[in-house]
Amino acid sequence: MTSQPDSALHSDAANPSRREQILRAAAQLFAERGSRAVGVDDVGAAVGVTGPAIYRHFASKDAMLAEMLLRISERLLAGGTERIAAAGGSPAAQLRALVDFHVDFALDNPALITVQDRDLGALSDPDARRVRQLQRSYVEEWVAVLTRLHPDASTAACRARAHAVFGLINSTPHSAGRLARPAMAALLADMAVAAATAR
Amino acid sequence: MTSQPDSALHSDAANPSRREQILRAAAQLFAERGSRAVGVDDVGAAVGVTGPAIYRHFASKDAMLAEMLLRISERLLAGGTERIAAAGGSPAAQLRALVDFHVDFALDNPALITVQDRDLGALSDPDARRVRQLQRSYVEEWVAVLTRLHPDASTAACRARAHAVFGLINSTPHSAGRLARPAMAALLADMAVAAATAR
DNA sequence: GGCAGAGGTTAACCACCGTTCACACTGTCG
DNA sequence: CGACAGTGTGAACGGTGGTTAACCTCTGCC
């Protein structure tokens, strides 16, 4: 989205720009200790520069966090929309698609998941509003699917159900590493589907 | 545990001591903003005193957090042990007892639940170790029950399953209030059991 | 060659916050 | 009545940490 049209410098994945390096290192540190406990110097040290160098790439520490959270929310929302569309019309298939997507995302980005629901409160008011709006949209995608699966359940119940499933899948960071990735993915997905369809 | 043997001052629930008031207010504030974002002055103001007055009741801000987290962990572990013992020998009944207990606890103490898994990292090393040990014991109670329910699953898988169920139930704070308490309790318990027994 | 601009560095500034201190007030007990 | 313990207050101290400023060094380009 913010790609410079001309400069083909720093390809995204293999040779990430300093800016991307910083965002990644910061996400890791924020997840481990909480954004408020991490100093600008810590983030700098993690990418091999001093603290103030950060300000060549970000306006402030808060701006880093804001960009981080905005990106996650956007990726989740976009991914959810895409997977639903690709899953056909069956609510069960759509649920499975959403679950698989979210499980993959959580296993691929445990740090981002952790930061997202721990440090949302550290955002400035307008940034927090924007993130919450994106999150809400994503939740509503789940609610729509869950409502079709549970036709006589209230919207509030479906929303609570969606949050509970998120909590289940997002528990990954707390128990990561003990289980091999494919086994963990299968386990979480099965549990999530069972929880989403229970009763 | 720290009850003065003689003074029958300040009964626990109805007329809580200043110390208890502070702990409750702090738990609420810590849950809302994160312990590092809450000042001693904020906690004081919440109970109608100035910041430094806190130090008449606690050695430090960290000591408040430590006591808070230690108490939660102890209550969870004790409650779990008790409910398992009272549930008879059937693994299914024991699971149901654990689920109901944890759901009640989470619905009764959303703030404590939030603080527990967000601010553990802010504890001093020895305090954190103690809390983690208590948490681990509690988790192992769940793992024991889950292992009997899934005889051919690995311990690691059962542990991941336990964490996932905690994540599901502890999602309460994020979606509280939208649903009436009994409905929420029933929904969460059913989802938790379904997730715990899936596959 | 020299200019410009990107990206780093060190030092300094400043606000915030946990903590301590000296003092005041209030009740109880001898 | 006076001592004293308990609790609260406002002021001050000190460390931490985000942010800024001034300066330095490369690199690409006209």
A62 touches strand D (CB under 7 A): yes
CA distance B69 to chain A (A): 17
B32–A34 C-beta distance less than 8 A: no
Q: Does residue A29 contact residue B29 with C-beta atoms inside 8 Å?
A: no
Burial class (CB in 10 A: 0-12, 13-18, 19+), B105: buried
Print pLDDT tens along chain B (199 aa): 333 333 444 445 556 799 999 999 999 999 999 999 999 999 999 999 999 999 999 999 999 999 999 999 999 999 999 999 999 999 999 999 999 999 999 999 999 999 999 999 999 999 999 999 999 999 999 999 999 999 999 999 999 999 999 999 999 998 877 899 999 999 999 999 999 999 8
Burial class (CB in 10 A: 0-12, 13-18, 19+), A89: exposed
Q: Give the residue from A116, A100, A183 showing the smallest Cα distance to B199.
A: A183
Give A84-115 as a 3 state SS string.
Answer: HHHCCCCHHHHHHHHHHHHHHHHHHCHHHHHH
Q: Does residue B147 contact residue B153 with C-beta atoms inside 8 Å?
A: yes
Residue A7, pLDDT score: 39
CA distance A7 to chain B (A): 41
The architecture (CATH level 2) of A11-58 comes to Orthogonal Bundle (1.10)
- Tens-digit pLDDT profile for residues B151-183: 999 999 999 999 999 999 999 998 877 899 999
Reduce the DSSP state of residue B191 to 3 states and report it.
helix
B194–A194 C-beta distance less than 8 A: yes
User: For B66, phi and psi rounded to 5 degrees?
Assistant: -60, -45
Report DSSP state, residue B174: G
- Concatenating the DSSP letter of every residue in B25-36 gives HHHHHHHHH-GG
Reduce the DSSP state of residue A170 to 3 states and report it.
coil
The region that residue A48 occupies, defined by phi over 0 for left and psi between -120 and 50 for alpha, beta otherwise, is left
Residues of chain B found within 8 Å of residue A165, distances taken between Cβ atoms: 168, 191
Q: Does residue A178 contact residue B160 with C-beta atoms inside 8 Å?
A: yes
Residue B176, pLDDT score: 77
A 10 A CB-CB count for B178 gives 14
Q: Which nucleotides of D are covered by protein (CB under 7 A)?
A: 6-11, 16-21
Residue A175, pLDDT score: 85
Whether A126 shows a pLDDT value over 80: the answer reads yes
- Tens-digit pLDDT profile for residues A44-82: 999 999 999 999 999 999 999 999 999 999 999 999 999
A170–B168 C-beta distance less than 8 A: no
**What share of chain A in percent tops pLDDT 90?**
89
Residue A1, pLDDT score: 36
More confident residue, B121 or A6: B121
Alpha carbons B96 and B87: distance in angstroms, whole number? 9
Q: Which nucleotides of C are covered by protein (CB under 7 A)?
A: 6-11, 16-21
Specify the CATH number of the domain A60-197: 1.10.357.10
Q: What single letter denotes the amino acid at residue A171?
A: S
> Would you kindly state where each structural domain of chain B is located, as residue ranges?
12-58, 60-197
Q: How confident is the model at residue A13 (pLDDT cuts 50, 70, 90)?
A: low
**What share of chain A in percent tops pLDDT 70?**
92
**Whether CATH 3.30.450.40 fits B12-58:** no
Alpha carbons B151 and A44: distance in angstroms, whole number? 48
For the residues A122-133, what does the mean pLDDT come to?
A: 97
Chain B interface disruption, residue of A119, A120, A187, most B CBs within 10 A: A187
For the residues A167-190, what does the mean pLDDT come to?
A: 94
Alpha carbons A56 and A97: distance in angstroms, whole number? 41
Within this chain, domains B12-58 and B60-197 share the same CATH topology: no
